[in-house]
Chain A
Amino acid sequence: GAVVSQHPSWVICKSGTSVKIECRSLDFQATTMFWYRQFPKQSLMLMATSNEGSKATYEQGVEKDKFLINHASLTLSTLTVTSAHPEDSSFYICSASGGGATGELFFGEGSRLTVL
């Protein structure tokens, strides 16, 4: 089955630094990738939708300049948390879709960010 890989699976950084998280579709071309943040009670908040070769569409309330999303190829999307602060500490999860009417979506294993 399709696999979506996230890297790193966990990262610890100092406040004020930037962190990049990669999301790769390993055996299919992902026309669309979604980025989520996990909140308490394991609820997922959709942060943005990225389509290959175009700018990401951010959900209301998500700072575009803080959470930079790049979907440069059909197999890779990156989320960069710029000038991270402790309140940005969370799990970040990506999912990837092959597009079309099937609506199939495959989730990455998540990346845990801890900002000191």
Chain B
Amino acid sequence: DQQVKQNSPSLSVQEGRISILNCDYTNSMFDYFLWYKKYPAEGPTFLISISSIKDKNEDGRFTVFLNKSAKHLSLHIVPSQPGDSAVYFCAASSMNRDDKIIFGKGTRLHILP
């Protein structure tokens, strides 16, 4: 059973608009969440993270929102740029238990010109 779910395999957004990527998790022990970005033929690179003590973390154009009661997090990219076209992976872990990261299956974001 998937513990981290990204239900949208792909998403297309117009350049300049807001991109919203969603992620749901099932394990209530998760307390640390990360987003990774991956270009074709490259390994994923870390983008942004959030601890469960927060509900929002912002870094430039990227903001991650966490709704613990709904076990849901989202990544907002605004404004979207052509270079944002990539696959985005949501990941979760339990820092207190020093546990491994669990990844979602990814969402492909395509920024339209």
| A3 to B100 Cα, complex, angstroms | 17
Docked complex Cα distance between A31 and B105 (Å):
18
Q: Kindly report which residue of chain B lies nearest to residue A97, judged by CB atoms.
A: B41
When C-beta atoms are compared, the residue in chain A nearest to B33 turns out to be A42
A67 within 8 A of B: no
List the A side residues contacting B87 at CB < 8 Å.
Answer: 103-105
Instruction: Report the minimal beta-carbon distance from A115 to chain B, rounded to whole angstroms.
Output: 15
- The 8 Å CB contact of B106, one of A32, A46, A49, A104, is A104
Query: How many Å from the CB of B89 to the closest CB on chain A?
Result: 8
Q: Kindly identify, within residues 83 to 101 of chain A, every residue whose CB is under 8 Å from any CB belonging to chain B.
A: 91, 93, 95, 97, 100-101
Known: A42-B95, A44-B101, A91-B100. A103 touches B86 (CB 8 A): yes
Measured CB to CB, the closest approach of chain B to A3, in angstroms, equals 10
What 1/0 flags go to B87-108 for Cβ under 8 Å of A? Answer: 1010101010000111101101
Contacting pair B100 A95 (CB below 8 A): no
A52 within 8 A of B: no
Distance of A44 Cα from B89 Cα, bound (Å): 13
Chain B residues positioned under 8 Å from A34 (CB to CB): 43
Query: Is B100's CB under 8 angstroms from A103's CB?
Result: no
Q: Name the A residues within 8 Å of B49 (CB-CB).
A: 41-42
User: Do residues B100 and A112 form an inter-chain contact, with CB atoms below 8 A?
Assistant: yes
Contact B44 A105 (CB under 8 A): yes
**A contact residues around B91 at 8 Å (CB):** 42
- Closest chain A residue, CB of each to CB of B39: A103
- B83 → chain A closest CB, angstroms: 14
B-side contacts of A100, CB under 8 Å: 40
CB distance from B111 to the nearest CB of A (A): 14
CA distance A91 to B102 in the complex (A): 12
Min CB–CB distance B98 → chain A (angstroms): 8
Q: From residue B27, how far is it (CB to closest CB) to chain A in Å?
A: 13
Contacting residue for B103 out of A1, A43, A107, CB 8 A: A107
